[in-house]
Amino acid sequence: DGLTWPDPDSKARLVVAAASDAQLRAVVRRLVRRYAPPPSRRPDDLPGNRTVPDLPPIGVLPLDPARGTTHRDLAAQLGLPRDPAAVAAAVLDGTPRRLDLLRNDGGSVTLDGALLGAADDSGRPLHWRGRVEVDDAVLSNGDDPLLACAIGNAGGYARLDDVALLGDPDPTDGLVEVAVAVPVVTRSALGRKRVRLEVRRARGRAVAVLPREGKVPFLDDGAEGELSRKRSWWTEPGAWAVWAG
């Protein structure tokens, strides 16, 4: 909390030692809560597509160096160093790399992405229903059974098992990529019933998800939660930054 920002002398360096993306997200969420101005005090120089100013760059120190090879965490996706000496060099002599941030109306933020849906005890996905909109595009009106909904700023939730949900999410393009997986029943020429998975995708500035019945479990940057009411995510282009080597 003693960090001064903006820092004209550029002497302050913030390093976050994190064992998971959820821990890194918690720090960025605190930065947003501290620096985001209330709507009534919005500064004139704040870009029209932003609600927060440029946040101070963060040095990311992954506490599990091997995690980047077993799981594509955000540091691995961004190609950030994992060795402490290399992280220190990036923080001291590197350059800031600005990245998009997702805010939501629940008061939190998303750095990588979110995955909505659940599975039974055998690991089979469970159907749920909800309306999913990306800007003016409707991916589901709430009538279709959904297996999953992926919201991507980066690519951590681009795949569900062997199914490609997101195409190529880019945390620097100012857009959020969204996909829903819908099971579609078809019949062969012999009348046999088959189920194929239809993936619908869209990109935009904002996405809204409204569950139609009950609660929908989700993972947001690895943090678990349940969605029971409408939730909206929107993009803050270039709002946060990491020190890159």
3-state DSSP assignment of residue 57 = coil
- Position 131 scores a pLDDT of 97
> What pTM does this model have?
0.89
Question: For 214-234, what is each residue's pLDDT tens digit?
Answer: 899 999 999 999 999 999 999
Are both 148 and 91 inside the same structural domain?
Answer: no
Are both 169 and 68 inside the same structural domain?
Answer: no
Q: What is the C-alpha separation between 154 and 69, in angstroms, rounded?
A: 17
Inside any domain, residue 8:
no
Instruction: Tally the domains of the chain.
Output: 2
Spatial neighbors of 139 by CB under 8 A, at least 6 apart, are 132, 133, 149, 178, 179, 180, 200, 201, 202
pLDDT(86) > 60: yes
Mean pLDDT score of the chain: 90
Question: For 23-78, what is each residue's pLDDT tens digit?
Answer: 999 999 999 998 888 888 998 889 999 999 999 899 999 997 655 554 689 999 99
Are both 23 and 62 inside the same structural domain?
Answer: yes
- Position 122 scores a pLDDT of 73
Q: What is the C-alpha separation between 99 and 235, in angstroms, rounded?
A: 10
Domain encompassing residue 135: 113-236
